[in-house]
Amino acid sequence: MNEFVITATRSMGTYAARVADYLIKFPSFASFSGTINGINLLKTDRFADGEMEVVVESSIRGKDIFLFTSCARNEAGIDVEEAKIELYHTVDALKRAQAERITVFEPFVSCSRSDRTTRRSSVGLWVHFKILASLGTRHILTYQLHSDKSKSMIDPAICAMDDIPALTLLKRRLCDVYIRNLETLEKVVRPHWVFCSVDAGGEKLARRFANSFGAPLVVAHKQRDYSKSNTIESINILSADPIDGKVLWIVDDMIDTAGSVESLIRALAPLKPAEINLIAVHSLCSPPAADRLNRLSAAGLLKHIMVTDTVFCPCSCTGIVDNLEVVPSAELSAKIIRTIATNSSLSKMMRSFNAEIYLKSPNLFNQ
């Protein structure tokens, strides 16, 4: 095992510290003599004219670096542009300090929706990956990119890319909290639950949930106005079976302004499901998301909201959205780093989740 250090840009210091704490508790690292927690390794300076410089404050020569970062909303209050520039400066500083290998762990890639190459516009995700790779990043880790095609934007001969399916965290929480045993899975979930995509593009995501639990799938076909961001024109519900009286779980990769979710839930309500719930990996909750979600909850149209903590979400910290449940991801991040640091395979992190197998042997998924 090569000596490695976990550090972070200012946007993810607290998260990275939690990951380091989990790593230290793993038996395989009990006798590890190197430094794991390097949260205070970096210092960000400003010149009088506003220019930035990142300084590595101790030797990292020959060490593997796991750099946690977020260019989305973060608890440090750093805006998107500044967070990106700090990340690029940090990778450059680490490379100049002769780090052996730099792995950027960005749980949510904020520019992941800027992935369309057919328009006369910049492709933010390609720009982001290109800069990281050219500066010396050799491995990028993230959770649930917006589209599968995004993984092909980077040359694997220059920089490796692993997109870990954080959906497994949410599926496990469904089993642990809402299902609990095989009898409920067989007699309640499979005949009475339905999983629904937010749009046709999200069908694959929702289908993974449906397949994991052996439940039916509903597809919402959303017509967008691509001349405006976060705008939809109409929604059509495609379902082979009626959803009257069913427990409906809407599945999406992220909640941003919640405009699509609100429109979909209001389109589903006349079909009289027993309850409507929402599952998403990334919880951006950009205004007016909290207002929209609260209106739906107050009207009895939205019962549960389940997300992960890949993005700092002020709604969950302040209780603005009462029925928002946040599933932590730091332990999974620690397991990913342990796997890479010990030169083990990441394939177990990528395998399909099966609720029946998990409920029989939950430890199988906790390795």
Strands 64-68 and 193-197, sheet pairing: unpaired
| 322-349 pLDDT, tens digit each | 789 999 999 999 999 999 998 999 998 8
- The CATH number of the domain where 199 resides is what? 3.40.50.2020
Residue 41 is assigned to a structural domain of this protein: yes
Q: pLDDT confidence of 223, banded at 50, 70, 90?
A: low
The three-point CA angle 285-287-291 to 5° equals 90
Q: pLDDT confidence of 182, banded at 50, 70, 90?
A: very high
Same domain membership, residue 234 and residue 117: no
Domain count, the chain: 2
Residue 357 is assigned to a structural domain of this protein: no
Residue 358 is assigned to a structural domain of this protein: no
Residue type, 93: A
Same domain membership, residue 180 and residue 50: no
Same domain membership, residue 156 and residue 116: yes
Nearest residue to 222 (alpha-carbon basis) of 252, 186, 187, 184: 252
Residue 362 is assigned to a structural domain of this protein: no
Same domain membership, residue 279 and residue 175: yes
Same domain membership, residue 121 and residue 226: no
Q: pLDDT confidence of 313, banded at 50, 70, 90?
A: confident
Cα–Cα distances in Å, from 313 out to 77, 274, 287, 325, 352?
11, 28, 11, 11, 28
Domain coverage including residue 228 = 168-328
Residue 364 is assigned to a structural domain of this protein: no
pLDDT of 226 over the 80 cut: no
Kindly compute the dihedral angle of the four CA atoms of residues 243, 246, 247, 252, in this order, to the nearest 10 degrees: -10
Q: pLDDT confidence of 29, banded at 50, 70, 90?
A: confident
351, burial (CB in 10 Å: exposed 0-12, middle 13-18, buried 19+): exposed
User: For residue 224, what pLDDT is reported?
Assistant: 56
Same domain membership, residue 128 and residue 179: no
Strands 217-224 and 232-238, sheet pairing: antiparallel
Which residues make beta-bridge pairs with 142?
163
Side-chain half-sphere exposure of 218, counting CA atoms within 13 A: 28
119, burial (CB in 10 Å: exposed 0-12, middle 13-18, buried 19+): exposed
User: For residue 53, what pLDDT is reported?
Assistant: 97
Percent of the chain with pLDDT over 70: 91
Residue 359 is assigned to a structural domain of this protein: no
Same domain membership, residue 105 and residue 216: no
pLDDT of 31 over the 70 cut: no
User: For residue 66, what pLDDT is reported?
Assistant: 97
Residue 302 is assigned to a structural domain of this protein: yes
Same domain membership, residue 31 and residue 159: yes
| 115-154 pLDDT, tens digit each | 887 778 899 999 999 999 999 999 999 999 988 888 889 9
pLDDT of 366 over the 70 cut: no
88-92, 133-137, 164-168: lowest mean pLDDT where? 164-168
Please give the structure tokens belonging to residue 333.
């991040």
pLDDT of 105 over the 90 cut: yes
What's this model's pTM, rounded to 2 decimal places? 0.91
